[in-house]
């Protein structure tokens, strides 16, 4: 994975994680990145890594502190 470009995200963007108990938790998207993997380039939300707060990681690769996996992105202008 190679980040080609990174831009700041509006504060209302969140990554939603499905927890093992069925609850949904949220993590703020701090930026949007163009990420190259092989021959494709994808847009992904970047979040602070719950396991290592000194790193930014793509939301789909992150695991929440409770062990939940990425589900989708969401936006709430009031967040």
> Residue ranges per domain, the chain?
2-75
Residues in the chain where the model's pLDDT stays below 50: none
Q: Which residues contact 49 (CB under 8 A, 6 or more apart)?
A: 55, 56, 57, 62
Instruction: Judge contact between 73 and 14, C-beta under 8 A.
Output: yes
Residue 79 is predicted with a pLDDT of 59
For residue 37, the cross-strand partners are: 40
Residue 13 is predicted with a pLDDT of 97
Q: 3-state DSSP helix/strand/coil percent for the chain, to nearest 5?
A: 5, 55, 40
Residue 37 is predicted with a pLDDT of 84
Residue 77 is predicted with a pLDDT of 84
Look-up of token digits 């470009």: 5
Residue 52 is predicted with a pLDDT of 86
Q: For the chain, what's the residue count?
A: 79
Residue 50 is predicted with a pLDDT of 82
CA–centroid distance for 34 within its chain = 13
| Predicted TM-score of the model (pTM) | 0.87
């Amino acid at each position: 994975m190679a980040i080609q470009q990174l831009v700041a995200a509006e504060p209302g963007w969140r990554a939603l994680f499905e927890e093992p108990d069925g609850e949904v938790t949220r993590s703020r998207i701090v930026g949007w990145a163009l990420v190259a993997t092989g021959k494709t380039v994808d847009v992904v939300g970047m979040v602070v890594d719950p396991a290592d707060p000194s790193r930014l990681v793509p939301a789909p690769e992150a695991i929440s502190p409770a062990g939940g996996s990425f589900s989708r992105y969401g936006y709430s202008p009031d967040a």
